[in-house]
Structure 1
């Protein structure tokens, strides 16, 4: 006998020839796009205030940091993980790579000409964005490496348990097999 299609009437699923109708849960509404969390709003507000103060006091350093921290800003925008692990990986490395240049600006000329000199050198970009790239690589590769290491450890423990079981079986007989 061919199966007949079920019909829905008023939230009740009626299947012809199957007895009493069954209640059906209404389908869930489509999920809304995630709004920025209050933590991200506070972080954004603090970053904007810090950059404004830095722009007022030290314009060359502020301009340099805006260019230097672009990978951190991108990571902040795209990170939607619960613990914000991407930003926690990229930002420290990116900031650490930009600090030597900012300190050199602070102690030496601290002029826009020096900022443009830094920004025109390939070494500066390699240092700044290379560290950020390393942070992105850590974020994407660390879970795979850890998974592989844990799987190997589990496999070694399983092999050791099987060897121990075989030794006990040899010593005590087939009764200890299970």
Structure 2
């Protein structure tokens, strides 16, 4: 880890140590909602063994997108206990929050396969194009331009 990365990490940690207590004191209802809503991201962070934590980024992004409308609703409703209770007891809110996280898991798990298939398709197209180009060159220059294969030696 170089010096710039270490400094960035320490500044993020310092910022978290400042923001989290302030959030817990002044907006504890939001903190409860965010903590419970972001549980799928925490699970992704724990079970992803790669140091880059791609699962946490993918699931966390989707999870946060599903959570933001409810956090905004909580702020608009005045951060009252009743507003938090309404969100927490509404199955639709949890469906949106955890459904978005599930979409993140789907994207995370299906993207490598999709990229692999697209790359294979592109490679087959390239091979076909090169074979047509080779046939054109053979017609133009004759069969002597094709080098002998290694197994023919």
TM-score range, shorter chain: 0.7 to 0.9
In the alignment, which residue of structure 1 is the partner of 2:3? none
Q: Which structure 1 residue ranges, 4+ long, deviate > 6 Å from structure 2?
A: 41-46
Report Cα offsets for 1:137-167 as digits up to 9, x if no partner.
1111101100100111011001111111111
- Higher relative contact order (Cα pairs below 8 Å, separated by 6+ residues): 2
Distance verdict in 2 for CA 1:47–1:70, change over 3 Å: farther
Distance verdict in 2 for CA 1:119–1:139, change over 3 Å: same
- CA drift of 1:51 comes to 3.5
- Match of residue 147, structure 1, among 109, 116, 121: 116
SS at 1:161's partner residue? helix
- CA drift of 1:122 comes to 1.6
TM-score by length of 2: 0.80
Counterpart Cα distance in 1 of 2:101 and 2:32 = 18
TM-score by length of 1: 0.70
Q: Which has the higher helix share?
A: 2
Gaps of 5+ in 2: 1-5, 148-153
Q: Which has the higher strand share?
A: 1
- Match of residue 75, structure 2, among 88, 106, 117: 106
- Match of residue 157, structure 1, among 126, 129, 134: 126
- CA drift of 1:114 comes to 1.6
Pair member with larger Rg: 1
In the alignment, which residue of structure 2 is the partner of 1:82? 51
